[in-house]
Amino acid sequence: MDFIFIEEMRVDAHVGIYAREKAAPQTLEISLTFGVPDEAARDDDIAKTIDYATVISRIRGELAERHFNLLETLGEYVIGLMLDEFRAPWVKISIAKMGVAKGVKRVGVQIERSRA
Q: Is the dihedral of CA 106, 72, 77, 7 positive or negative?
A: positive
Summarize pLDDT for 7-65 with one digit per residue, the tens: 999 999 999 998 988 899 999 999 999 999 888 888 888 888 999 999 999 999 999 99
Task: Estimate the crossing angle of helix 71-80 against helix 52-65, to 10 degrees.
Answer: 140
**pTM (predicted TM-score):** 0.92
| Cα(79)–Cα(62) distance, integer angstroms | 12
Alpha helices in the chain (DSSP H): 19-23, 39-43, 52-65, 71-80
Q: How far apart are CA 9 and CA 48, in angstroms?
A: 24
- The CATH code that applies to domain 2-114 is 3.30.1130.10
Q: What is the domain partition of the chain in residue ranges?
A: 2-114
Dump pLDDT digits (tens) for 82-114: 999 999 999 999 999 988 888 899 999 999 999
